[in-house]
């Protein structure tokens, strides 16, 4: 923790039970050792971006992870902010099959909001907690080269080529990348990429140890409506085929499975509304969502 933050830290925690805090840290030691040097890709969205306090809490957790040896990589969304800016700019949106058509006017707003307003806000929050972060997009250093997903949707892209070497250099300098899901085409086009899809592609390119998908739901639920704490890819496919996994959970599980097929050791769909969700998932036995990994 940087010197300038120490006084505030002591004030904040003066009423805490110090023995209990020490016990918690001691219990976390095996997990600190387990994840030392590990790359963890975090898709940030939903509640964790919804307020200054939630952002501050997330940023502090990320800085803590960095200080105990994890290499965090942040990929963020920003749908509500994009919608608000499009409305303010008077840009009308067209939808095909429930998906926004990203025309030339829309992609300019999307890039401005994600690479500018949203990305820099996250960078600022991390650095306010003593970390070092840099805001980039998938266009920088050809990190994420895309092809058009569907001509009907305009400038919406699917990653087809990745440049993980650029992110490896940031890791070597202990700089936390904050990545906007904006990709480039082979001919210089700008593409809007689904945030979960971008996070999965980046995690696979880095052969990350963990992909954490922060959502606004507790995790994957079974037929009984209860959250499943751990599940295999095979069980995910069975629940999808039977209709238990449906709606917005399908693309998230598909992203997780695709990332694992690309080399990610495990993926977690976790509730970003829970305070310190990432820390709970990595450094406690209980976790904070649904862990997806192969059979041991």
Q: Are 157 and 116 in contact (CB under 8 A)?
A: no
DSSP-based three-state secondary structure for 35: helix
What number of H helices and E strands is found in the chain? 11, 14
200 is in an annotated binding site: no
DSSP-based three-state secondary structure for 157: strand
Instruction: Mark out the alpha helices in the chain (DSSP H runs).
Output: 3-12, 18-35, 52-67, 79-89, 104-111, 119-128, 164-172, 195-205, 233-241, 249-261, 277-283
Q: Return d(Cα 149, Cα 67) in angstroms, integer.
A: 38
Beta bridge partners of 100: 95
78 is in an annotated binding site: yes
Q: What is the dihedral of CA 281, 283, 285, 287, to 10 degrees?
A: -10
192 is in an annotated binding site: yes
119 is in an annotated binding site: no
Q: What are phi and psi of 289, to 5 degrees?
A: 180, -145
Q: Return d(Cα 13, Cα 98) in angstroms, integer.
A: 47
The annotated binding site is made up of 78-79, 100, 192
The annotated binding site for substrate is made up of 78-79, 100, 192
């Amino acid at each position: 923790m940087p010197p300038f933050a120490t006084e505030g830290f002591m004030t904040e925690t003066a009423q805490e039970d110090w023995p209990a805090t020490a016990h918690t840290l001691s219990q976390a030691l095996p997990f600190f050792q387990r994840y030392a040097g590990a790359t963890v890709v975090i898709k940030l969205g939903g509640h964790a971006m919804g307020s200054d306090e939630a952002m501050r809490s997330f940023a502090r957790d990320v800085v803590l992870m960095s200080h105990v040896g994890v290499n965090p990589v942040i990929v963020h969304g920003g749908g509500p902010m994009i919608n608000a800016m499009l409305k303010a700019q008077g840009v009308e949106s067209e939808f095909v099959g429930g998906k926004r058509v990203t025309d030339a006017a829309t992609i300019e707003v999307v890039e401005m909001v994600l690479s500018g307003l949203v990305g820099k806000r996250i960078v600022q929050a991390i650095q306010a907690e003593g970390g070092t972060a840099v805001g980039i997009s998938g266009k920088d250093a050809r990190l994420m080269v895309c092809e058009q997903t569907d001509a009907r949707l305009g400038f919406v892209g699917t990653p087809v080529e990745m440049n993980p070497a650029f992110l490896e250099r940031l890791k070597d300098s202990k700089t936390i990348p904050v990545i906007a899901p904006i990709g480039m085409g082979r001919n210089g086009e700008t593409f809007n990429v689904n945030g979960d899809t971008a996070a999965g592609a980046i995690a696979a390119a880095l052969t990350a140890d963990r992909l954490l998908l922060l959502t606004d739901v507790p995790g994957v639920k079974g037929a009984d409506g209860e959250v499943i704490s751990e599940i295999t890819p095979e069980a995910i496919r069975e629940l999808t085929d039977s209709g238990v996994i449906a709606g917005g959970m399908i693309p998230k599980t598909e992203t997780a499975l695709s990332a694992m097929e690309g080399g990610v050791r495990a993926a977690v769909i976790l509730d970003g509304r829970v305070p310190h969700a990432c820390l709970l998932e990595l450094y406690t036995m209980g976790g904070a969502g649904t862990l997806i990994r192969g059979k041991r």
